[in-house]
Structure 1
């Protein structure tokens, strides 16, 4: 018999332990409860990585969980280096603001002022500010339906990639809407290289990393032998597998950095001083615009009912093949949570919320097994109809025991598509549409499954519904254009 249920029960018992007595060391008691919470997530396969939690500027917990390298059983530690994904964007924004301070870039300067070869009809409309705030209207290259399948393994020089993948027709008037845009931050990297005369990697090293002593952070390259590098994995319906290869020249200034929890703590601490940016530049960087997005950061006022209500939260997540990450700061309290995970998509927001509850002396919500993991065995043994029935039964009788978030069934559907089980994927995506009828994303996913199954009319209906719910869904628009085009 596996000892895992006993261990998990013991972990949850520690998590549910009462707040520390006066005789206890409060910081140590909080650290034990945070550790127990993260360990509970690890035991059900929802976290595998490294964590750092700081309160009032002091590190409360710094620890690795699970494995950095599964084939050799090498554990994650506080020194393990992880790919950061879009946490990179705050470093790119900082480099831009440093060039603003030095008079080489203006935030209201036009893209064409710095990249004169860029298409002028767009370059004369889009400003640096638009690129920083995801309001440029330039299509994001990662929105393309074929990017990951046809492009992501191939290296590209910066100029060539800009011309081929970051120069599409505007989707909306610059400044009028928010649409998360990796092309915008790729263009910022190209712009930085032009105005500085240095590569993005060199600029990053000389302007930020070396001055701050961030020796475990850098621009990731697949060919580099990098000590303490975590391998990236993704959790399939049958277990873990190696994440698909991605050439790191493509995320570039939008997502190509690696780091450790310790170095991100150094970064957090530096942002309280002026070693990297002046007070005026930091004020600019942390001022939110559309959808609460500032320069490389999401900024919000924490609402009533949550820990730290009324304070400003500055945060950003990241996701890149085999990794997802989160850095969350509360400057008023010098609070910091860093979560770096090397097993693909997982609920880092829920883990961070549980940590916040512990720090506030509240009882955190225990982690829940994902509903996909609960119904997948039924699907493989008894078929999709039985899996759907199992889903409804669990949602009716044990809803509190499972995680029913949108991403869980969506991930399962794509895993089934990857196994060439399009009919099963359709059943799961339809179930997700039933649960989240107002989500443009789930209708888009269902359309993709219908298309793979050769059901063109149903695919078009799903894509049209996705566009109604999310008019900025360029992927749906592009596919509909192809499907509606008259046959040659």
Structure 2
């Protein structure tokens, strides 16, 4: 994690699902499931005791350090800690720790924007975005190139061509300057305006997209109200400390990720958000359908999340899976929703991707695949 390029890879893991899913889509029906995740034929739903035993077995096999929550309907079947906070021993993890949500924040941001805007406004050329830059709190008189006709949807799906903060010069520990600076300083979101945007630009994962979308909501009088149990990180607040290559992660300002990755909360807070989506409390049916509608053209990317059919071991047919990944330095987060089954699986680890490989469901093996198979089949 010594260069900006490597950090971009780390932060981009929450977006990488798009390309592998597209590439692997034709092979979905023929994927060979892992034999270690449980039953081989779908039957009755697992009992709570069976889910706990199956998830515990997966956590032990992969030597997990972190927390897993599995819920079905209105019931949390388990919310369990595994392993120790520091590699090599010491204090154990405990359930209910406050984690950085990383790019799970984007999933929350997208849902709140869809709730707040009339659906046609998602696709209206965002001329009102120009008004943001007249707000002294956002762009106090600095000259900026034209914003163009980028829409809110294009911001939420990374098709804007905006400046990418991951490319700012790196400092101590390889952290790009954007993420190491005081989030309340003069740089902030203004840097996002320093490059001309391009409507319908090719996909390019970029935290500025969500920072600008949040600024638009505030400027238009629709500030986002974070769900109960979630709050934006304060300066120098990071939650559970992360580890990279077995060593403490470098210093950064989690708050600088803002609406792109700066939320903190518990696994139960994430589940409550998931449940509010599945039950229709947060969004009416038409808005939820829009939130979860993949953009098509070979991509399963929806608004702030990916939605795809995933084959799981022990399930007779692929499950519709709503997935959001997140990783900031030494902490990884995953939020899986299986809306047709009323199941949510929330997972955190404070080991980086270099230390703990989560894997992808479409691979038909690995931790994520085995965990979802244990929870859902």
With the shorter chain as reference, the TM-score category is 0.7 to 0.9
Q: How far apart are 1:347 and its partner, in Å?
A: 1.9
Match of 1:281 in 2: 287
Q: How far apart are 1:160 and its partner, in Å?
A: 3.5
Q: How far apart are 1:165 and its partner, in Å?
A: 4.1
Indicate whether 1:195 and 2:205 are aligned.
no
Match of 1:204 among 217, 221, 225: 225
SS of alignment partner, residue 75 of structure 1: coil
SS of alignment partner, residue 296 of structure 1: coil
Indicate whether 1:157 and 2:184 are aligned.
yes
Match of 1:123 in 2: 147
Match of 2:367 in 1: 351
Instruction: Give the count of matched residue pairs.
Output: 318
1:111–1:124 Cα contact (<8 Å) kept: no
- Describe the superposition over 1:79-109 as per-residue Cα deviations: whole angstroms up to 9, x where unpaired: 1111111000011112222321499x65413
Pairing 1:252-263 to 2, within 5 Å after superposition: 252-263=258-269
1:132–1:184 Cα contact (<8 Å) kept: yes
- In structure 2, the gaps of 5 or more residues are 1-35, 360-365
Match of 1:330 in 2: 338
Separation of aligned partners in 1, 2:131 and 2:61: 50
Separation of aligned partners in 1, 2:216 and 2:186: 10
Match of 1:27 in 2: 48
Match of 1:63 in 2: 80
Q: How far apart are 1:120 and its partner, in Å?
A: 7.0
Q: How far apart are 1:72 and its partner, in Å?
A: 9.4
1:69–1:230 Cα contact (<8 Å) kept: no
- In structure 2, relative to structure 1, the CA distance for the partners of 1:193 and 1:288 (3 Å cut) is same
SS of alignment partner, residue 32 of structure 1: helix
Match of 2:129 in 1: 112
Q: How far apart are 1:193 and its partner, in Å?
A: 2.2
Q: How far apart are 1:304 and its partner, in Å?
A: 8.9
Q: How far apart are 1:149 and its partner, in Å?
A: 4.3
- In structure 1, the gaps of 5 or more residues are 1-14, 362-488
- Describe the superposition over 1:371-403 as per-residue Cα deviations: whole angstroms up to 9, x where unpaired: xxxxxxxxxxxxxxxxxxxxxxxxxxxxxxxxx
Indicate whether 1:168 and 2:195 are aligned.
yes
Separation of aligned partners in 2, 1:252 and 1:232: 19
Structure with a larger share of its residues in helix: 1
Structure 1 runs (4+) deviating above 6 angstroms are: 15-19
Match of 2:95 in 1: 78
Separation of aligned partners in 1, 2:193 and 2:369: 36
1:138–1:166 Cα contact (<8 Å) kept: yes
Indicate whether 1:296 and 2:304 are aligned.
yes
Q: How far apart are 1:60 and its partner, in Å?
A: 2.8
Q: RMSD across aligned C-alpha pairs, in angstroms? A: 3.3
Separation of aligned partners in 2, 1:310 and 1:29: 21
Match of 2:71 in 1: 54
- Describe the superposition over 1:147-181 as per-residue Cα deviations: whole angstroms up to 9, x where unpaired: 724443211438732322443244xx422422212
- In structure 2, relative to structure 1, the CA distance for the partners of 1:61 and 1:197 (3 Å cut) is closer
Q: How far apart are 1:308 and its partner, in Å?
A: 6.4
Match of 1:40 in 2: 61
1:55–1:336 Cα contact (<8 Å) kept: yes
2:37–2:371 Cα contact (<8 Å) kept: no
Larger Rg: 1
Separation of aligned partners in 1, 2:316 and 2:146: 42
Q: Which protein, 1 or 2, shows the higher relative CO under an 8 Å CA cutoff with sep ≥ 6?
A: 2
Q: How far apart are 1:223 and its partner, in Å?
A: 4.4
- Describe the superposition over 1:402-450 as per-residue Cα deviations: whole angstroms up to 9, x where unpaired: xxxxxxxxxxxxxxxxxxxxxxxxxxxxxxxxxxxxxxxxxxxxxxxxx
Q: How far apart are 1:16 and its partner, in Å?
A: 8.1
